[in-house]
Amino acid sequence: MVYIRAKKVKSDQYLYLVKSVWDSKRSTSKQEIVKYLGKASEVVKDDIPVEYRDNPKVLSVLASYNPKDIKKREESTKKSKEHLYKKLTEGNIEECVKIYQDYTKIFNPADFFDKILKQVMTDIGEDWASNKISIATEHVASNIAQTLVKIIMDGVSVSANKKKILICVPVGEEHHLGCDVLETYLSIKGFKVYNMGTSIPSESIINFIENNKPDMVFISITLTDNILAGQRLVRKINDACKIPILIGGYAMQTEKIPKFDGKVISELNLEELAKIIRSV
């Protein structure tokens, strides 16, 4: 059984999707958090994992937290996704920037990255795989998306007063859009971010860690073919340095999550990731 649990912090309510699990040792049921959903007034249907999205009880609770606002947000998110898909595949960077600006007048940047850009790039990848769009169109969209993230990043005021985060990828991983999105969002939140983004030897990464002393390493893996290289990179960093390591990316969003000598981040939104970074 799944249901939504609310937790009040100061004057705001925060929602969690939880499920009841039977504890055979204690002969009782216990709660397990399926997903942190966020601030109650900002949670929409798309925040619920697909397998629970049409659960009547879950939808009923969501509707109780300002149903008019929830409907407005869902409609705005859907329209923004459709518009961004069209403009990315057309190669129209000016309109893509405008979509971001208009969306973040109402919602926060994390919502744009989590609910709009991430979902649209997934749709574009799937449409290319199923021959709905050409490889040329997919490349244009990916390049425009990277330019969009760079433009957003250029407008960020960076503070060096918080933790320093190194973002990198294992050898062989050439996808860096996720790294760029993470750099932009964490910079907005005030973290000092070192974004390597491109594939370089593990020894070079370790040398950078030793010379620049980041507080944490985040390894992004997009393709499952690069999981083994990611596991090797984590082991080498652990052998050379005592530093917390987080592992995330599209390759981690599977039912059977690979084992790493670090903390794996699978289905998690950017706001929750920032909280984890602060707590480590």
Q: Quote the tokens at residue 271.
A: 């706001």
Question: pTM for this one?
Answer: 0.63
Same domain? For 119 and 38 the reply is no
53 in a structural domain: yes
Same domain? For 172 and 196 the reply is yes
Q: How far is residue 5's CA from residue 14's CA, in Å, rounded to a whole number?
A: 8
Same domain? For 44 and 95 the reply is no
pLDDT-based confidence at 276, cuts 50/70/90?
confident
**Per-residue pLDDT tens over the stretch 212-257:** 999 999 999 988 899 999 999 999 999 999 899 999 888 888 778 8
pLDDT-based confidence at 108, cuts 50/70/90?
confident
Same domain? For 60 and 80 the reply is no
List Cα–Cα distances, 85 to 80, 112, 177, 185, 187, in angstroms: 8, 13, 16, 21, 25
Query: What pLDDT sits at residue 104?
Result: 85
**Per-residue pLDDT tens over the stretch 9-36:** 877 888 989 888 877 777 677 788 888 8
Query: What pLDDT sits at residue 237?
Result: 95
Query: What pLDDT sits at residue 163?
Result: 86
Measured in whole angstroms, the distance separating CA 118 from the mean position of its chain's CA atoms is: 8
pLDDT (mean) for 152-167 = 76
- Where residue 233 sits, what CATH number does that domain have? 3.40.50.280
Domain residue limits at 86? 69-154
Give the total number of structural domains in the chain. Answer: 3
Same domain? For 60 and 143 the reply is no
pLDDT above 60: residue 161: no
Query: What pLDDT sits at residue 268?
Result: 67
Contacts of 123 (CB under 8 A, 6+ apart): 81, 85
